[in-house]
């Protein structure tokens, strides 16, 4: 009788472990999809080019005025990002702004990549500026330029810019869930 209980206990433990592992992986994948739905949005992608020009607008056209990346990712000598973009959105002219408005480094260029390639770059210390997973979570959920995506202001025609598909709270939760699950990168 006693051995029956032991076997039942072992079976139950195995079931729970398998079930937990499955749920964890599944939730990690789900969180990954949510995170990537924001990261691949134009509000993020426009300033994560692989080349030397940023993009702009809802149609992600090449930035007007021949704007260049420059040696430090914030423009060239006479035409820095700060020539037009200040620390906040300008609701009169429609020029967007946020603290440290600049381009992501070239190693973090995402335009044209698949989701799993972008995620790999985000997690790779050689491309992400040496960030740990905790630092990545902090950047994604706290950085003032990242947060601008949820306060993108209006364009020059007075029309509100499109926001990412998740609310900031949903995005933050998804980032934490993804990280807590070990930041899995599902194959395509």
Please report, as ranges, the residues that interact with other proteins according to CB under 8 A.
Answer: 64-68, 76-80, 82-84, 86-88, 90-95, 156
Select 3 or 92, whichever has its Cβ closest to other proteins.
Answer: 92
Select 33 or 52, whichever has its Cβ closest to other proteins.
Answer: 52
Select 88 or 177, whichever has its Cβ closest to other proteins.
Answer: 88
CB of 52 to other proteins, least distance (A): 10
CB of 88 to other proteins, least distance (A): 8
CB of 63 to other proteins, least distance (A): 10
3-state helix, strand, coil in the chain (%, to 5): 50, 5, 45
d(CA 97, CA 162) in angstroms, rounded, equals: 15
Q: What separation in angstroms does the CA of 93 have from each of 86, 153, 154, 157? A: 12, 11, 9, 9
Select 76 or 111, whichever has its Cβ closest to other proteins.
Answer: 76
CB of 162 to other proteins, least distance (A): 20
């Amino acid at each position: 009788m006693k051995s029956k209980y032991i076997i039942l206990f072992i079976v139950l433990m195995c079931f729970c472990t398998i079930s937990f592992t499955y749920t964890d992986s599944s939730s990690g994948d789900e969180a990954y999809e949510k995170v990537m739905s924001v990261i691949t949005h134009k509000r993020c992608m426009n300033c994560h080019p692989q080349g030397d020009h940023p993009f702009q607008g809802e149609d992600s056209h090449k930035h007007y005025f021949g704007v260049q990346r420059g040696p430090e990712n914030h423009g060239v000598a006479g035409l820095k990002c700060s020539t037009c973009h200040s620390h906040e959105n300008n609701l009169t002219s429609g020029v967007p702004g946020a603290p440290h408005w600049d381009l992501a480094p070239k190693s973090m260029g995402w335009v044209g990549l698949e989701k799993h390639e972008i995620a790999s770059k985000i997690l790779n210390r050689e491309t992400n500026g040496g960030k740990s997973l905790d630092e990545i979570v902090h950047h994604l959920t706290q950085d003032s330029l990242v947060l601008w995506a949820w306060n993108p202001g209006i364009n020059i025609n007075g029309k509100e810019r499109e926001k990412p598909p998740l609310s900031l709270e949903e995005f933050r939760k998804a980032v934490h869930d993804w990280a807590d699950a070990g930041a899995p990168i599902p194959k395509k």
